[in-house]
Amino acid sequence: MAIGKSVIRKEAWDKVTGRAKYTNDFTEKGMLHAKLVTSPYAHARIRAIDAKKARAIPGVRAIITGEGLPLTGEDLRDRPPIAFDKVRYHGEVVAVIVADTLVQAEKAANLVHVAYEPLPAIGTPSEALKEDAPLIHEQLGSYQKNKHTYPEPNTNIAHRTKIRKGNMERGWAESDVVVETRVSFSPSDHIAMETRCATAEILPDGQIMISASSQSPFMIKRLISTYFGEDAGNIVVHTPLVGGAYGGKAPVQLELLAYLAAKAVRGRKVRVWNTREEDMITSPVHIGLEAAVKLGATNDGYIKAAEILFLFDGGAYSDKAIDVSRAAAVDCTGPYHIENVWCDSLCVYTNHPYAAPFRGFGHSEQAFAIERALDLLAEKLDKDKWELRRKNAIRPGHTTPTQVPLNRSNVGDLPACLDRLRELMEWDEWQRIEIDAYTVQAKGISCAWKTSTIDPDASSGVILTFNSDGSVNVISGVVEIGTGTKTILAQIVAEKLKMDVHDVYVKMDIETQTTPEHWKTVGSRGTFMAGRAALAAADDAIRQLKAIAACILRASADDLEVGGGKVFLRDDPSIYVPVKDIANGYKYPNGNAVGGQIIGRGTYILRHMTPLDKETGAGKPGPEWTVGAEGVEIELNRRDYTYKILKAFAVIDIGKVLNPKAALGQVMGAMSMGLSFASRETFLFDRYERVLNPQLRTYRPIRFGEHPEYIVEFIETPQIDAPYGARGVGEHGLIGMPAALANALSLAAEVPLNELPLFPEQIWRKKKGDIHDSF
């Protein structure tokens, strides 16, 4: 019916014709505009704010500063919505100007004078951990936190996740060979096409109306209620289509400023909108990392021990960086069977912009460290790099670093992915060849896996309403951020109801008062959670259809089937009633009626999830692990160290391909992001930790015409409890790309390349010996 077909996305026509509307497209006469006043320093005390000249600008309605505002943060409340005692990163908001027009607000913002006392700034996690490092949060021990967050007062450590599995002494004793490596990269950005924006209005009856470009509208509602004491039922959040997010729109930031701005002007509607420059440094960024990996293995290539240290650059505030550092720890070994594991994953404060999740949620970051170590181990053992990975590949019967037993349902088939990758890449033909005196080609591979470390009680709801013609409306709290998940939901519903997918309509925007809740649109969990809820809603609708049809057809509901726009007798399909005749109730010839509108209701909540043990990390953080094998083929010019990425490969165990073209698009898009992050994307900081390249002229993601040939295939090992067996796949194409590129270039250049991004200059410096693997 619908599953397995390349159904065109439900919102495609609106997007390609320009009819689609995003948050900043909704304007109205009389709306006020906010402009942010931000800090030119990465670390400084605020001695005074003089806004007299700004207040004199015609049209200025309010100037808001941070004094008296509550601290915010999902895991650890360490961030003021507006800085009030000191600033902790370049670009931090110190005041908000509200005016009749944006021009007036900008003019007034330029006239706000802030007196700063500069403080020493910290630029790396390793620097932040030094004994004499200045404290970024002197009051860390007094902040409110949740039960499973472990800040370390009088340090710059916001949280530490420990993984302790097996016996490390035994692991090292069984190891014949040991390798160690260190890797690092600075923070970068998500570069979503649509910058972050929000509007807020407080109606005369006190109802708070928020509109936001967000991955988590229900979290906005919850947090505004928690932070400011507003009644949750009084807060309504609207999220239309979102123009890309990649994790950057999961945190709640501008929504709080919009609320505060509306409150300051007696409820009038106020819009807060980021310029590209503000979006890159004022709002949350992609996390940085310094990591050290030590692996022990036998001479025949079995890994016996892994000692891993992740130092995540959480920036000035912990926000979602705590979750990212935890997620990396959960899958710290990569998709390999290692019985003895020691890992510490730290979320460390620095004076960089604070971090948000990035597509892959900590996994491309940790994979870069682990996969570089795997290549070094293969070289030391003089073994084939593909063979080493396959020999140690995670399989059913093994356990994860957090000691979750794996089976054929909750983990994909990594050996099958590796086998197919080997064929696609023609791995056995060559790994490195010299084309001429200056040109060399090389291949690099890596493996990927990921589970979703989300709240144990995360849930999703779906409502189905039937129209008079028998068609169906799907209402879900999943945000359409570009993944096509809502089209997948339509396919799931169509398959279950055995109807044409074109007769299934999907409500694209979210409105928290009328849309059933979906926890957050993150972690490749939309299809799984909302899909399960959609199946439950379809089952509920089928029960109702059968109940009404049983009265009409004078048959037991157990003898009826639903499909093809009919409810019919299983043993005699010629006896039936059209769905359209009962979708809004059924009227007998004598005028009596039964039933009413069919409204299917379904919910799903994750089961058997547990928090991690503080000392060992033992626990079940997610429902399943999607696995994959990835590779790249490059050509390096040894005169100037420029290179071309010729081909990129990914073989992902997707469980079941629900929509082939959509799946290919998701994986290829993720691969391109991974290659862009690995090859060129980074923030450049001066010695005062100020961002030097907060614009697309100098921050250069991969462009059209620079892409390699993408080759993607899927393995199908169904996840038994997932909708039609499908596994999450929105992020996995990205996870292995940085490591695969670094492995290929390291082989081509014949030097270990352990720092991202892989600029030609960095390769040249490494060849000269100017870069050392240390931090």
| Pair of tokens at residue 472 | 């169906």
Q: CA 354 to CA 193: how far, in whole Å?
A: 20
User: What is the 8-class DSSP label of residue 193?
Assistant: S
Strand order in the sheet with 459-466: 504-506, 472-476, 459-466, 599-605
Residues 362 and 489 in one domain: no
Residues 449 and 466 in one domain: no
Could you read off the pLDDT of 295-342 as tens digits, one per residue?
999 999 999 999 999 999 999 999 999 999 999 999 999 999 999 999
CB 205 within 8 A of CB 177: no
Residue 519 forms part of a structural domain: yes
pLDDT attached to residue 773? 52
pLDDT attached to residue 497? 98
- Average pLDDT over all residues of the chain: 96
CATH number, domain at 412?
3.30.365.10
Helix (H) or strand (E) holding 322, with range, is helix 321-330
Residues 340 and 367 in one domain: yes
Residue 5 forms part of a structural domain: no
Strand order in the sheet with 566-569: 560-563, 566-569, 576-578
Collapsing DSSP states into helix, strand and coil, what is residue 248?
coil
Residues 506 and 593 in one domain: yes
- Burial pattern 619-631, b for ≥16 Cβ within 10 A else e, equals bbbbbbbbbbbbb
- Angle of CA points 439, 444, 446, to nearest 5°: 165
Task: Name the burial class of residue 174, with classes exposed (0-12), middle (13-18) and buried (19+) by CB atoms within 10 angstroms of its CB.
Answer: middle
Q: Which domain holds residue 734?
A: 285-454+609-768
pLDDT attached to residue 296? 98
Q: CA 593 to CA 360: how far, in whole Å?
A: 53
Q: CA 264 to CA 468: how far, in whole Å?
A: 47
Q: CA 369 to CA 355: how far, in whole Å?
A: 19
Residues 388 and 343 in one domain: yes
pLDDT attached to residue 108? 98
Q: CA 523 to CA 248: how far, in whole Å?
A: 12
Q: CA 400 to CA 620: how far, in whole Å?
A: 9
Other beta carbons within 10 Å of 249: 31
Single out the residue in 554, 580, 605 at which a domain terminates.
605
Nearest of 23, 155, 137 to residue 83 by alpha carbon: 137
Residues 335 and 320 in one domain: yes
Single out the residue in 550, 571, 605 at which a domain terminates.
605
At residue 300, what is the residue type? D
- Burial pattern 706-731, b for ≥16 Cβ within 10 A else e, equals eebebbbbbbebbbeebbbbbbbbbb
Residue 592 forms part of a structural domain: yes
The beta-strand segments (E) located in 407-521 are: 432-434, 439-450, 459-466, 472-476, 504-506, 510-511
pLDDT attached to residue 775? 56
Nearest of 500, 499, 478, 628 to residue 562 by alpha carbon: 499
Residue 2 forms part of a structural domain: no
Residue 235 forms part of a structural domain: no
Residues 653 and 721 in one domain: yes
Residue labelled with tokens 């614009």: 695
Q: CA 214 to CA 283: how far, in whole Å?
A: 13
Please list, in sequence order, all residues whose beta carbon lies within 8 angstroms of the beta carbon of residue 605, skipping any fewer than 6 positions away: 457, 458, 459, 460
- Biggest CA-to-CA distance, the chain: 93
pLDDT attached to residue 31? 97
Residues 617 and 596 in one domain: no
CB 625 within 8 A of CB 412: yes
Please list, in sequence order, all residues whose beta carbon lies within 8 angstroms of the beta carbon of residue 523, skipping any fewer than 6 positions away: 361, 452, 453, 454, 728, 731
**Three-state helix/strand/coil letters over 272-300:** EECCHHHHHHCCCEECEEEEEEEEEECCC
Residue labelled with tokens 């507006």: 82
Residues 290 and 415 in one domain: yes
pLDDT attached to residue 525? 84
Residues 601 and 613 in one domain: no
Q: Is the dihedral of CA 490, 491, 492, 495 positive or negative?
A: positive
Phi and psi at 163, nearest 5°, equal -120, 120
User: What is the 8-class DSSP label of residue 517?
Assistant: P
CB 258 within 8 A of CB 367: no
Q: What is the DSSP string of 561-589?
A: EEETTEEEESS-TTSEEEHHHHBEEEE-T
Q: CA 451 to CA 330: how far, in whole Å?
A: 8
Helix (H) or strand (E) holding 184, with range, is strand 177-185
Other beta carbons within 10 Å of 262: 26
Single out the residue in 584, 605, 626 at which a domain terminates.
605
Calculate Rg over the CA atoms of the chain. 27
In sequence order, what are the beta bridge partners of 349?
A: 315
Distances (CA, A) of 762 to 287, 290, 432, 640: 21, 17, 21, 11
Residue 761 forms part of a structural domain: yes
Residues 394 and 464 in one domain: no
Structural domains counted in the chain? 2
Using DSSP bridges, classify how beta strands 157-165 and 44-50 pair: parallel, antiparallel or unpaired.
Answer: unpaired
Collapsing DSSP states into helix, strand and coil, what is residue 436?
coil
Give me the residues of the chain with pLDDT under 50, please: 774
Q: What is the DSSP string of 233-246?
A: GGEEEEE-B-S--T
pLDDT attached to residue 521? 81
Q: What is the DSSP string of 12-75?
A: HHHHHHT---BGGG---TT-EEEEEEE-S-SSEEEEEEE-HHHHTSTTEEEEE--TTPPPB-SS
Residue 48 forms part of a structural domain: no
Residues 492 and 582 in one domain: yes
CB 318 within 8 A of CB 312: no
CB 649 within 8 A of CB 421: yes
Q: CA 362 to CA 332: how far, in whole Å?
A: 10
Residue 116 forms part of a structural domain: no
- Angle of CA points 617, 621, 625, to nearest 5°: 115
At residue 160, what is the residue type? R
Q: What is the DSSP string of 384-411?
A: -HHHHHHHTB--TT-B-TT--B--TTTB
